[in-house]
Every structure is written in C-alpha cells, then in structure tokens.
Amino acid sequence: MWHTLPRRHSILPFSRRSRPWEQSKSVSVVNLKLRMKEIANWALNVATMRGASYADARIVSQRSRALTTKNGKVGSASDAESTGMSVRVLADGAWGFAASENLSRAGVEATAARAVEIARASAQVKQQDVRLAPEKPVTAEWVTPHVIDPFAISVEQNIALLLNIDSELRAVAGITLAETNLNFNREEQWFISSEGSDIHQTKYSAGAGYTAYAFAGNEIQKRSYPNSYGGQWQNKGYELIEELKLRQNARRIAEEAVALHHAEQCPEGTFDIILDSSQLGLQIHESIGHPIELDRVLGMEANFAGTSFLTLDKLRTLRYGSEMVNVVADARQEHGPGLGTFGFDDEGVPAQCTPIITDGLFTGYLSSRETAHTIGESRSGGTLRAEGWNRLPMIRMTNISLLPGEKPLSLEELIASTDHGILMQTNRSWSIDDKRYNFQFGCEIGWEIKHGKRMRMVKNPSYSGITTEFWNALDTICSRDEWTLWGTPNCGKGQPQQVMGTGHGAAPSLFRKIKVGSAYKGS
C-alpha cells in the first residue's frame, strides 16, 4: 500500500536532546563504535542469561528535514532527530521485541529483559518454533555514496529554492495552487547480534518535487514533477536536488496543468497504451512488489495489507507476464541509488539480487531468515527492514525493478512504432484489491497516438486490468537510456504502521489491448 502522507515519529529537536553515550562532543569514531558495542552487549548479555537462544540489538539515530511551501508561503518546516534502541530475541521458539530511547545501562538491560518476557508469553500461543535460516556473522561498515551532505545546506537556502520554484509555477496564468516539498533523511544504525555480527551503516536519502493545480469551473487539473506524491527520492545527498532540474521544468509543468482544461476527455475502449517510467514504477509497486512479500503470502500480514494471489504453488509455475518481463528485487549498490538500497538488512543479511520474474515466469519472493524455509531456500533474501528504532523489522520491498529492453529504443521511437494508442504519464490515482489482482490506475496527462505520432493531449486518462493479464500484454520496453530508478518514500505496512521507502526501476513500455477509460467518467 502506498500512502500519500507518511507518518512521522513524535520527536524532539536535536538541540534539546543529548545522546546519553556521548561524554563530550569530541567523541572519536572509534570510541563511539566501542560505546555502541558496549551498549548492545548489555542487552545481549541479559537476553542470553535469561534464556534467549538468539538476540540482536539495533541502535538507531535518525535525522530528518521536511520543508514545504504553498502559494508563496512556507507551509511547514521541521528539522528533527531521534535516537533509540530495540532488542529482538528468540526464547522458547518464539519472538520477543522491546524498544526504548533510554540508553543507560539500567534502561538497556530492562529493555532486553522485557523482550525475553514477551517472547516467553508469545511461546504460549505459538503454532510452531521459529526457524532461522543460517547466516554467517559479519563485521562491516557501510555508507550511502553521496557527494554533498544534505544537512550541510542551510534551511534558508532550502526554502529559497522552494519559493523560487513556487514563483515560477504561479507565474503561469490559470494556476491557482502551487505546492513544493524538499526532504532529507540520515539514519545511522549499529546492529549487534548474539551470533557475532557487528554492522554499522549510515544511510542518506533526499527527495523533492512540486505540483501545480488549476481550478476552473467544477474541475481540478494538476501536473506534478518529477513525479506525483512527493516527487523523486533516492539514496543520495543534496546532489540529487541539483540533478532534478526543478526550476527549469516549472513553467512547462504549470502550462500543462492549465492546458488540460482545454483538452478532450481521454477516449474509452481497448487501446495499446504506453506508460511512462514513473507510472510504471507504481504499477510494479502495487501489482508485483506487494504480492511477492512472503509474509503476506503466508498470512502473517493480512490484517492491515491483505494477502496475495501469489500462493506458494505458483512459484516457478505461474506465467506472470510475457517473455519481455524480467523483474528483480535488488538491494545492492550497483543496482542504483534506490530507497531500497543498503549494505545489510535489519537482521544483518547482506544486500542481494533476487530474480522475481524471469522471462515472464514467476521465480522468487521477498523473504527473511524466518520465512526462507517455506519456499525451500537455505538463505534469507535479505529484505527485513524497520522504519526506525522502535519498530519490529518486517519483510519490505527493496528495489523492485523491471529490467530495460536489450535493443536500443527511445520513447519517441516507441511512439513511432505505435499505430493507435494512448501515452499516459504521472500517476493521479490507484486502486487495487487486497490480493493485488484487480486494479485501476489514473494518470495526470495523456496523449493520443495515431500512425506513430503524438497527437492531441487528453485529460483524465485511466486504465484497468487483472495483474497477470496486464503483464502478459507487455510488448516492448525502452532501453537503458530511458530507465529511471524511482523512489517511493511512503509505502505503508504493519500494525503499528511503518512507512518506508522502496525503489522501482522502469523504462517506458508498450502494453497491447488494455481497457482504457471509465475511472473519471463524468468528471
């Protein structure tokens, strides 16, 4: 499920808090690492003494900056930091979990004791013992590759950029509302396990975007850039903001929002459709990413997010899509700076690439150490992640990407090869059932294609279908030069809910004979 408004922890400004492990501001990196290990070992020792067969501790320090503007004024501004620790244990064959922001020895030991107590209580109602796939202990350091620390840029500079974009958007006659946003995150994590893993990771992410709205009569039209629902996000530093060319595209986006009021309604019927890479990223998220989460398949996550049509009998037997469809779950840095990129997941498993769909055949799930054996795997797929220090890690999407076509092909060449179809860009709405099978998506803007040429602009384009039928209709994918790794920062899952980032790589693609229209009938 993809939420438009991510939930944030209730946190205090960092200037009003002190890190309990810091004896002075000049604590060296080496001393800090030793201090983190000492704190974690307090927890592991207590858990072991109280009978835990396995234990891990995660100490997480997070900083976030979120800024928005609305019609020439600052809409919201926050710069906050949060630090805490969680302890996860196995006792009597069941999980126990507890978390606290109290990192004193007494606080840490109490947290570990509580985790064991919860595990023993959980064991009273377990159906079977938890089985963990083996994983070699690792000692490692990992940092998101970045050029510019986003927090080195002042809030004043950030707001000045957003107001400049806002002004550009509202300079176009007919624009009645302009909204912009800028977001930065840094998460530093120490993971220590009773098996011997000692991992320190620092992850950076940045995101930015804006939307221009045009209200006329009883109709609202909008255009977003670089994508809707928060724009583009990646695991990078401030350099991402410079790469996005935000100001340079503002006038064009605003002009398109106004022009949509004069465009004709998208025709209804069965058409060939071309989806731009950002819309295809959402399609991947909802109709591939969620149904391959093994906890959903096994009924472990059904309360909040539903189940999945991808029951275990479909592994390596279901024709998910056409032979053009090759999808991977890839958390490795070499895949790109996606929000699902990391060095190690939150139970110490190294980042991996798992083939999900291979030449159209369904070949893999997102798994954890606990669930790997259910699909006959001897090792976790490395996808267990938590939103922060006070949440239990669960199976989450990494970078779920549709690989590009092998033959050189641009979007314009793809359009030229299409006799009659609709090009749809930028998501506006989505709906999909709890098994991720029947869906309907709407886009912000479309163009009718006739005889290989982009013709009239059309408004309110939408399409619908059934997941496997849709992916089997995939005919052509543009090549690597058109491929983008999009970031979705607001995927919600779990109870209590966790909102996390995922990545989805895609290039513009052509689908044959898709049902178009009806989503915005009468609007």
> What is the pLDDT tens value at each position of the chain, 523 positions in all?
444 333 333 333 333 344 444 444 445 777 888 999 999 999 999 999 999 999 999 999 999 999 999 999 999 999 999 999 999 999 999 999 999 999 999 999 999 999 999 999 999 999 999 999 999 999 999 999 999 999 999 999 999 999 999 999 999 999 999 999 999 999 999 999 999 999 999 999 999 999 999 999 999 999 999 999 999 999 999 999 999 999 999 999 999 999 999 999 999 999 999 999 999 999 999 999 999 999 999 999 877 778 999 999 999 999 999 999 999 999 999 999 999 999 999 999 999 999 999 999 999 999 999 999 999 999 999 999 999 999 999 999 999 999 999 999 999 999 999 999 999 999 999 999 999 999 999 999 999 999 999 999 999 999 999 999 999 999 999 999 999 999 999 999 988 899 999 999 999 999 999 999 866 554 4
Domain check: are 290 and 216 in the same one? no
Q: Calculate the alpha carbon distances from 79 to 8, 64, 158, 165 in Å.
A: 12, 6, 12, 21
CA-angle at 167, arms to 161 and 169, nearest 5°: 105
The maximal CA–CA distance of the chain, rounded, in angstroms, is: 74
What are 165's two structure tokens? 């974009």
| Of the candidates 233, 239, 243, the residue with the CA atom closest to the CA atom of residue 501 | 233
CB atoms within 10 A of CB 231: 24
Q: Calculate the alpha carbon distances from 280 to 63, 144, 152, 440, 470 in Å.
A: 31, 26, 34, 13, 12
Domain check: are 175 and 97 in the same one? yes
Provide the pLDDT for residue 32: 86
Q: What is the DSSP letter of 407?
A: S
| Residue range 489-500, pLDDT digits in tens | 999 998 889 999
Contact between 180 and 162 (Cβ < 8 Å): yes
Provide the pLDDT for residue 99: 98
Domain check: are 220 and 277 in the same one? no
Q: Calculate the alpha carbon distances from 436 to 283, 362, 383 in Å.
A: 11, 15, 20
Q: Is residue 280 part of a domain?
A: yes
Domain check: are 453 and 484 in the same one? yes
CATH of the domain at 199: 3.30.2290.10
Q: Is residue 5 part of a domain?
A: no
The DSSP-derived string for 200-242 is EEEEEEEEEEEEEEEEETTEEEEEEESSSSS-EEES--THHHH
Provide the pLDDT for residue 83: 96
Domain check: are 37 and 181 in the same one? yes
Helix, strand or coil for residue 283? helix
Environment class of 33 (CB within 10 Å of its CB; exposed 0-12, middle 13-18, buried 19+)? middle
Strand partners, 443: 427
CA-angle at 403, arms to 426 and 422, nearest 5°: 35
Instruction: Region of 298 please: left (phi>0), alpha (psi -120 to 50) or beta.
Output: alpha
Domain boundary among 262, 284, 306: 262
Range of the domain at 383: 264-516
Domain check: are 494 and 346 in the same one? yes
Domain check: are 419 and 361 in the same one? yes
Domain check: are 218 and 281 in the same one? no
Domain check: are 185 and 150 in the same one? yes
Domain check: are 414 and 511 in the same one? yes
Number of domains in the chain: 2
Q: Is residue 282 part of a domain?
A: yes
Q: How far is the C-alpha of 43 from the C-alpha of 22, rounded, in Å?
A: 19
Q: Is residue 94 part of a domain?
A: yes
Provide the pLDDT for residue 411: 97
Helix, strand or coil for residue 329? strand
CA-angle at 149, arms to 145 and 152, nearest 5°: 175
Domain boundary among 204, 227, 262: 262
Q: Is residue 521 part of a domain?
A: no
Q: Calculate the alpha carbon distances from 452 to 386, 413, 423 in Å.
A: 47, 9, 11
Domain check: are 235 and 108 in the same one? yes
| Of the candidates 179, 175, 177, 229, the residue with the CA atom closest to the CA atom of residue 207 | 229
Q: What is the DSSP letter of 304?
A: H
Spell out the alpha helix ranges (H) of 86-178: 105-123, 155-170
Provide the pLDDT for residue 93: 98
Q: Is residue 420 part of a domain?
A: yes
- % helix / strand / coil in the chain, to the nearest 5? 25, 40, 35
- What is the Cα gyration radius of the chain? 24
Provide the pLDDT for residue 15: 35
- Cα dihedral across residues 405, 411, 412, 417: positive or negative: positive
Q: How far is the C-alpha of 230 from the C-alpha of 361, rounded, in Å?
A: 33
Domain boundary among 225, 245, 262: 262
Its pTM stands at 0.93
Buried-state track 68-90, b at ≥16 Cβ within 10 A, e below 16 = bbeeeeeeeeebbbbbbbbbbbb
Q: Is residue 4 part of a domain?
A: no
Domain check: are 446 and 339 in the same one? yes
Q: Is residue 522 part of a domain?
A: no
Does residue 496 have a cis peptide bond before it, meaning omega lies within 30 degrees of 0?
yes
Provide the pLDDT for residue 253: 98
Helix, strand or coil for residue 293? strand
